[in-house]
Structure 1
Amino acid sequence: MRTSDNLWIMRPLIGADEAAGLAEPVVLDVRWTLGGPSRESDYREGHLPYAVWIDFDRDICGPVRETGGRHPLPDPDALQAVLRAAGVSEDSTVVVYDDGDGMAAARTWWTLRWAGHEDVRVLDGGIDAWIGAGYPLAYTDPEPESGDITVRPGALPVLDAEAAAAWAERNELVDVRTPERYRGENEPVDPVAGHIPGAVNLPLSDDNAPDGSGLADTEALRGRYEGHREAAFYCGSGVGAARAALAFTAAGLPTPPVYIGSWSDWVSRGREVATGEER
């Protein structure tokens, strides 16, 4: 996909039929539930052929510390070891999927792109789209040959707390959480409710296809994000913001900056909190 900015962007979404036709992709199963147990048992009960199980919290995110948020960036060497064990090489086409909401798959896509690997696709609609298209599941673990990928951090723009505050002052900082969480009326996860001062709210749910089968089509996403080209995104812990970045990229726009620590990092540092609506 070539954008009007004359930037080449690898098309980030792939449908079940196209995924089934790929020659020897590396397939990663990253099914995940926020705050829940590992979904490895679901993988054992059926997964895409040749899919390798990846534990999202352990393998795609770094360990949680006092600051840094609930889903910090992984250690590059640790990520490289995980990806090589899964068979990812420099020339691999990687297909990532989850249950279909795209949250864990999008953050995995974003993380691999941040790590310098461009050919990464998210299976739109996840495993349900694969099953709905009539394709079979597998029930045994693959034995991939070790890959040779080298992780090169920094290939995508990342904000920290200071940069997010500065961005909100001079550009558009977008909070993709629900309006209630943004306004500070309800906070089910983090200890403080509200939003980063100066941030505006574009709820992530508005990126969904009307039937809930995945992301909206390219035209709808382009209409949603065309007027937000200078935006950076955050959420609760950098997972939803990565999904917004996926939608933004699927619309044909350059992948935007993400505050990867997001709200959970912001409040862990005792930063100023705003509530209500911004002008």
Structure 2
Amino acid sequence: MKKSTLALGILAAAVAIGYPTYNAMFSAPSFEISDEKLNAKFSHYSQPEHFICAQDLKKLMDSNEDVVVIGALNPMKPDAPIEGSFTMWRDGYSAKEGAYEFDGMSNTTEEMEKILSTYGATSDSTIVVYAATSHHDAARLFWQIEALGHKDIRYLDGGLNAWVGADLPTGNANPSQEESDYQAAEPTHEHTALATLDMVIQAQNNDEWVIIDTRGNDEFNGTTTVGGAFGPGTIPNSVHINWTKAVNEDTTLKSVEELQALYGDVIKGKKVIAYCQSGVRSAHTTMILQNVLGADEVYNYDGSWIEYSHAHYEEKQPNVTVINGQQS
């Protein structure tokens, strides 16, 4: 379904049921979350400097520090952004139409540099990313900005839900900003662990590797094909750990002990490739494995199931096989 058609449908629904009711039904729920508990949790993470709570972000934004806050917010939802932040959605940080035969890939270094320049960011800026309710989109931005070699990149734990729960100001986003000339420090994915199709093929039958499928149960079982993919199924020999198992009911990340219990035995002594539909949910898992558990070699498969299913169902590459899929 085209975005314009979806937008008209949402507008019609809002008119039909009344905006206050629509807003209550579809906007991000708020959660009151203790900053002391979050900071105590962060202190046990492998790289606590990459995580921040809502109250500390507000203090940072009120200071004279060079901070740029970016929300990955779906424009079809009535979520009021963090005051003073910039907002964008997947079409802004994904590859342009026609760049690939399939959707979901990340955009170029040059395009990310242009976006961050528009926000006035420099290589010395503290960049904080956030999302609403399903915070995997913030993790995707985290991964793409880190791919530029940016050092001070932080993830707002609990995102907009925690910000609203702390009764912090929203609205007045996307402020006018003098454009900078952002230059990527290391314009390569090598240090951020980008998995390619060839790597995935090689890893399937290699005991040194484990492939983690971070999608939902129906996707893993092959009973559902999400729009954009070319057929159902799972990458052979992958381990299924739904990304949602890593978050609490209040949308914050779980403790290091809980995450170690979830992932520890699976990744112990292994190199890891995480994948999902289009590298968004798997970016969340990648962030956790790297920055919470301190795993050394974790790779996010950018193309994920969209690319893999295209190679299998459309290109019929003989070395790209699936399980839980359709019979050819």
TM-score bin, normalised by smaller chain? 0.7 to 0.9
TM-score by length of 1: 0.85
> Residues 12 and 250 of structure 1 are in contact (CA less than 8 Å); yes or no, is this contact kept in structure 2?
yes
Q: 2:79 aligned with 1:48, yes or no? A: no
Which ranges in structure 1 are unaligned for 5 or more consecutive residues? 33-37
Q: 2:241 aligned with 1:202, yes or no? A: yes
Picking from 224, 230, 247, the partner of 1:186 is 224
Picking from 120, 124, 136, the partner of 1:87 is 120
Aligned length: 263
Q: Which moved more, 1:81-90 or 1:9-18?
A: 9-18
Residue in 1 that maps onto 2:105: 72
TM-fit CA distance, 1:168: 2.0
More helix by share: 2
> Residues 10 and 118 of structure 1 are in contact (CA less than 8 Å); yes or no, is this contact kept in structure 2?
no
> Residues 103 and 306 of structure 2 are in contact (CA less than 8 Å); yes or no, is this contact kept in structure 1?
yes
Among all aligned residue pairs of Structure 1 and Structure 2, give the percentage whose two residues are the same amino acid.
22
TM-fit CA distance, 1:65: 4.1
Which has the greater radius of gyration?
A: 2
Residue in 1 that maps onto 2:163: 130
Residue in 2 that maps onto 1:164: 200
Picking from 308, 312, 316, the partner of 1:266 is 308
Q: CA distance change for structure 1 residues 235 and 166 in 2, over 3 Å: closer, same or farther?
A: same
> Residues 80 and 149 of structure 1 are in contact (CA less than 8 Å); yes or no, is this contact kept in structure 2?
yes
In structure 2, C-alpha distance between the alignment counterparts of 1:172 and 1:193, rounded to whole Å:
21
Residue in 1 that maps onto 2:255: 217
TM-fit CA distance, 1:2: 9.9
The letter for the 2-side match of 1:153 is: T
TM-score by length of 2: 0.73
Q: CA distance change for structure 1 residues 185 and 166 in 2, over 3 Å: closer, same or farther?
A: same
> Residues 222 and 251 of structure 1 are in contact (CA less than 8 Å); yes or no, is this contact kept in structure 2?
no
> Residues 84 and 149 of structure 1 are in contact (CA less than 8 Å); yes or no, is this contact kept in structure 2?
yes
> Residues 85 and 173 of structure 2 are in contact (CA less than 8 Å); yes or no, is this contact kept in structure 1?
no
Point out which structure has higher relative CO (alpha carbons under 8 A, 6+ apart): 1
Deviant stretches of 4+, over 6 Å? 1-4
Q: CA distance change for structure 1 residues 12 and 249 in 2, over 3 Å: closer, same or farther?
A: farther
> Residues 99 and 127 of structure 1 are in contact (CA less than 8 Å); yes or no, is this contact kept in structure 2?
yes
Q: 2:283 aligned with 1:248, yes or no? A: no
Picking from 194, 213, 225, the partner of 1:175 is 213
